[in-house]
Amino acid sequence: MIKKILIGLLIVLIAIQFIKPTRNLSGNTDKDISTIYPMSDSVKQIVTKACADCHSNKTVYPWYASVQPLSFWLDHHVDEGKREINFNEFASYRIGKQNHKLKEVIEQVKEDEMPLSSYTLIHKEAKLTAGEKATLIQWCQNIMDSIKANYPADSLNIKRPPPPTGK
């Protein structure tokens, strides 16, 4: 009985190896955040090493990313991460969304929520030093300040205006 279950599991494990999800490799940077806001080399370096694998159009896949079911798990992170914020698509966001996402970056970095701990466990170099965190936060803050100076406050409202009441 146990032997049959194990063989069954092995077959499933082999079968799922043939499932190859589409990879995040386009590398398109036409709408990159750096096309609309200044980004120093040090900020670029921080984002590239600590965030880009899940928040850009190009993931650098380690060899084990081809092994299922690990691949499902990693791709899920990339999909979800890109949906939350994609630095390579940032210029396409409405101004209110840009402002809100930058605020989220500051919060996530301050609270050590990002980069994900499951990621820094393996990518030790992605763990941010206090100095790197400060650099990243200051960069976001500077952009938010310039947005605030250039747009009326109500355009930064991320909620859509309520539908007209018809009066």
Contacts of 19 (CB under 8 A, 6+ apart): 68, 71, 72
* Chosen residue from 43, 51, 65, 144 binding ligand HEC by CB under 6 A: 51
* Chosen residue from 85, 89, 90, 98 binding ligand HEC by CB under 6 A: 85
**Rounded (10°) CA dihedral 121, 101, 60, 71:** 70
50 counts as binding ligand HEC under rule CB under 6 A: yes
65 counts as binding ligand HEC under rule CB under 6 A: no
104 counts as binding ligand HEC under rule CB under 6 A: yes
The nearest distance, CB 142 to ligand HEC, in angstroms, is 15
Structural tokens at position 74: 């990693």
The nearest distance, CB 128 to ligand HEC, in angstroms, is 6
Triad 30, 34, 37: Cα angle to 5°: 125
Cα–Cα distance measured from residue 60 to residue 84, given in angstroms and rounded to the nearest whole number: 19
108 counts as binding ligand HEC under rule CB under 6 A: yes
Q: Cα-flanking dihedrals φ and ψ of residue 29, to 5°?
A: -120, 20
Cα–Cα distance measured from residue 158 to residue 156, given in angstroms and rounded to the nearest whole number: 6
* Chosen residue from 65, 114, 143, 144 binding ligand HEC by CB under 6 A: 114
143 counts as binding ligand HEC under rule CB under 6 A: no
115 counts as binding ligand HEC under rule CB under 6 A: yes
* Chosen residue from 36, 39, 91, 116 binding ligand HEC by CB under 6 A: 116
Q: Do residues 159 and 94 lie in contact, with contact meaning Cβ atoms separated by under 8 Å?
A: no
Applying CB under 6 A, which residues contact ligand HEC? 50-51, 53-55, 77, 80-81, 84-85, 104-105, 108-109, 114-116, 119
